[in-house]
A and B are shown apart, each in its own frame.
Chain A
Amino acid sequence: MPEYKVGLENITTKDAYLNSRPIWGRIINFYFYKIFLNFITFSPRRQFLILAAFPIVWLLTQHLGPMLQMLRVSLLEAYPVAEGTPHSFTIDNYIRFFGDYIFWMPFFRTLIFATIFTVCTLVLTYPVAYYLARHVSRKNQMLMLLILLIPFWVGEIVRTYAIMIFLGNTGAVNLVLKWFGLIERPIPFMYTGFSMGVGIVYLTALYMLLPLYSALEKLPKSYTEVAADLGAGAWVRFRKITLPLTLEGISSGCILVFLISTGFYATPVLLGGPSTTVFAETIAGFFHYAGDEWPTGAAFAVIMFLTALIITFLFYRLMKVLRKGDT
């Protein structure tokens, strides 16, 4: 081994420190940097406060603010508030919702549709996720998953339009059906609950697929192999092992899809018809005009948001109980 030279001990001349120092060495010895650093790292407490101050302000004003303002407007008697008049609050905007079936019909339709679409997405993507996670080799898994992800980078509107073409009277589905001689005249899929369903499932499948896939992928293969060893059939293995252990993935996927599908506006407008008006369209209707209808729209949005939250919360609790019961 070579000799060790005692480094740096003989460096006492000033120019060793001052001539052409690398940038970081200059910054750290820069007078104003030192002052700034001393200011922010004066104490751990101050350091934390400086780090936390801006995010907290941002979260309160930008993340919470819009929701609170929406709630406030929903309680206003008149909007915009005329200058000089006091703000008067009322719950009339909420009462109005129950007064007319053209309001609560779309509301319940939205909830029912969202539930049906969520279940459909789950049933459709579960076998796909299962196949990917359990039957495909590690190397191909990523590639095959990536193939499915490609279309999901494409926007809502473009994909909705694709579905319009797909289901149209001269679209692919009708063409194939006709070709097989199953129908003589095209089936009018478009502008029905069906076309809306196909579109929304098409848009939300990814949000179900990914949680399911990661839950299934985490599940060790040995569990089902042991069960098979003990004589459990395919269905029993699925029912008793795979399903209970992937409930977490199922519940997060369902919550995501449910919340997202209640919020669609453009897709129902483009794919649905007059008999399938959803609540998003109702709410949007109040905002097409200058503002005097805004409180009602805001109130309806609050109703919808709270309902969606309550439903997902109850669903989450239910899944938690189910998970505990099984494990």
Chain B
Amino acid sequence: MKTENIVHIDKVSKKFGTTTAIEQLSLDIKHGEFVTFLGPSGCGKSTTLRILGGFEIPDTGKIILEGKDVTKYPPEKRQVNMVFQDYALFPHMTVSENISFALVLKGLNKNTIIKRQNEIMTFLQIQEYGNRYPNQLSGGQRQRVALARALAPNPALLLLDEPLGALDAKLRTQVQRELKSIQRKTNKTFLFVTHDQEEALTMSDRIIVMHNGRVEQDGSPEDLYYRPSNRFVAEFIGETNFLSGKVISLNNSIVGFDWYGYKIFGASNWGIPKKGSNITAALRLENLILSKVSPKTTNKVQGRILNKTFQGSRLLIEILIENTDEILLRAFIDNKTAQEIGSGIIWLGWHTESMAILND
């Protein structure tokens, strides 16, 4: 009996003392999705995960898991398993004892347990560590054991609470790729919590950006990156120029606004603002096209190069825009373009679609 939505969160709120962790959160999660909760610390992402795991009981609202209301269920009665931030491997048990912990408690017999244990250990390539204790493993191996332990009882939903935080940067990118492929192969629903935007962008099918207990934006990584719906999301993910001005023309979702005498067009993906209202638009640094001659884009302005910072594969350029009160735009360009444009006065252009009108 599989409904398409594996999890349905219905208007859940949670307070700790006087601080609100989650406010009126409603979400649907589909089967087989890799969903990431992204946000700064204290935004409510971990609390959401802990409510799903059963470690916190929400003050109001409901959690529906596979069509069943599990709001008041303790963790041991839920078909949900969690990979903890510190892995929480049991130090007094060997790797195979750790992995079979849940299987034993399911009441399975010894043969079945050993079979399943071997399956999962082979799948995660940790079969040779079966008799070791957690303190004899490296960080990456522990992470795999934690994953194996959580996957062993075949949960409907796997929760991952910043499980890569303890790994060093190099190992991390490798594990990110692995985790994604594990998710594809197992076809399980992964709910992943992180504060690292890059991690979220690399792995997820869907990202939910949270801030102060609310969902700021919910969408695919591309949506979030190129079409942020508000200033918080635009600032939190990637590097952004913000342009503010008064709306002067409207044409379906294309919004034209006045920016220091330039007429600028951007795309709105959340609705249409009022004519004459003040709006802000977000423009990614790498979406700016720089050239010596006037570009063929809808939006174009002239500016003077103020500063170049070498960043390896690219350059960060700061440009003082002509005819404004010392407004700066920043742009990423590659080293070749940098040589072509040289210095002095240059043109900046960008397409309508690459500029998102924000709703705040």
Name A residues whose Cβ lies closer than 8 Å to a Cβ of B. Answer: 1-9, 11, 15-22, 24-26, 28-29
Contact of A8 among B109, B111, B153, B178 (CB under 8 A): B153
Other contacts beyond A4-B182, A19-B109: 6, CB < 8 A: A1-B123, A3-B185, A17-B109, A22-B113, A25-B106, A28-B107
Q: Is B60 an interface residue (CB 8 A)?
A: no
Contact present for A29 and B107 (CB under 8 Å): yes
Q: Is B59 an interface residue (CB 8 A)?
A: no
Q: Is B88 an interface residue (CB 8 A)?
A: no
Contact present for B154 and A25 (CB under 8 Å): no
With contact pairs A4-B123, A5-B119, A15-B109 given, residues A25 and B104 touching in the complex (Cβ less than 8 Å) = yes
Name B residues whose Cβ lies closer than 8 Å to a Cβ of A. Answer: 104-113, 116, 119-120, 122-123, 125, 152-154, 178, 181-182, 185-186
Contact of A24 among B104, B125, B178 (CB under 8 A): B104
A6 to B155, CA, bound (A): 11
A-B pairs with beta carbons under 8 Å apart, 28 shown = A1-B125, A1-B181, A1-B182, A2-B125, A4-B182, A5-B123, A7-B116, A7-B120, A7-B152, A8-B112, A8-B153, A9-B154, A11-B108, A16-B109, A19-B109, A19-B111, A20-B109, A21-B108, A21-B109, A22-B104, A22-B110, A22-B113, A24-B104, A24-B105, A25-B106, A26-B107, A28-B105, A28-B107
Interface centre among A11, A20, A25 (most CB of B within 10 A): A25
Name the CB-closest residue of A to B110: A20
Q: How far is the CB of A39 from chain B (nearest CB, A)?
A: 16
A279 to B186, CA, bound (A): 78
Name the CB-closest residue of B to A28: B105
A67 to B173, CA, bound (A): 65
Contact present for A16 and B112 (CB under 8 Å): yes
Q: Binding site of A, secondary structure by majority: helix, strand, loop or mixed?
A: loop
Contact present for A6 and B110 (CB under 8 Å): no
Name the CB-closest residue of B to A21: B109
Chain A residues near B122: list those with CB within 8 A.
Answer: 2
A26 to B123, CA, bound (A): 28
Contact present for A4 and B186 (CB under 8 Å): yes
Closest 4 CB pairs of A and B: A4-B185, A19-B109, A8-B154, A25-B104
With contact pairs A11-B112, A21-B107, A22-B104 given, residues A6 and B154 touching in the complex (Cβ less than 8 Å) = yes
Q: How far is the CB of B73 from chain A (nearest CB, A)?
A: 13
A115 to B21, CA, bound (A): 54
Chain B residues near A17: list those with CB within 8 A.
Answer: 107-109
Q: How far is the CB of A326 from chain B (nearest CB, A)?
A: 34
A3 to B122, CA, bound (A): 9
With contact pairs A5-B119, A7-B152 given, residues A25 and B182 touching in the complex (Cβ less than 8 Å) = no
Contact present for B107 and A25 (CB under 8 Å): yes
With contact pairs A4-B185, A5-B119, A25-B104 given, residues A18 and B109 touching in the complex (Cβ less than 8 Å) = yes
Q: How far is the CB of B2 from chain A (nearest CB, A)?
A: 12
Chain B residues near A26: list those with CB within 8 A.
Answer: 107
Chain B residues near A18: list those with CB within 8 A.
Answer: 109
Chain A residues near B120: list those with CB within 8 A.
Answer: 7
Chain B residues near A5: list those with CB within 8 A.
Answer: 119, 123
Chain B residues near A3: list those with CB within 8 A.
Answer: 123, 185
A9 to B116, CA, bound (A): 11
Interface centre among B119, B125, B181 (most CB of A within 10 A): B119
Chain A residues near B111: list those with CB within 8 A.
Answer: 19-20
Contact of B108 among A6, A9, A25 (CB under 8 A): A25
Chain B residues near A15: list those with CB within 8 A.
Answer: 109
Q: How far is the CB of A139 from chain B (nearest CB, A)?
A: 22
Contact present for A16 and B123 (CB under 8 Å): no
A28 to B116, CA, bound (A): 20
Q: How far is the CB of B150 from chain A (nearest CB, A)?
A: 13
A120 to B107, CA, bound (A): 65
Contact present for B107 and A1 (CB under 8 Å): no
Contact present for B154 and A7 (CB under 8 Å): yes
A4 to B185, CA, bound (A): 6
Q: How far is the CB of B129 from chain A (nearest CB, A)?
A: 15
Q: How far is the CB of B18 from chain A (nearest CB, A)?
A: 22
Chain A residues near B116: list those with CB within 8 A.
Answer: 7-8
Name the CB-closest residue of A to B101: A24
With contact pairs A1-B125, A2-B125, A22-B113 given, residues A16 and B185 touching in the complex (Cβ less than 8 Å) = no
Chain A residues near B107: list those with CB within 8 A.
Answer: 17, 21, 25-26, 28-29
Q: How far is the CB of B148 from chain A (nearest CB, A)?
A: 11
A43 to B214, CA, bound (A): 31
Contact of A16 among B108, B154, B178 (CB under 8 A): B108
Chain A residues near B113: list those with CB within 8 A.
Answer: 22
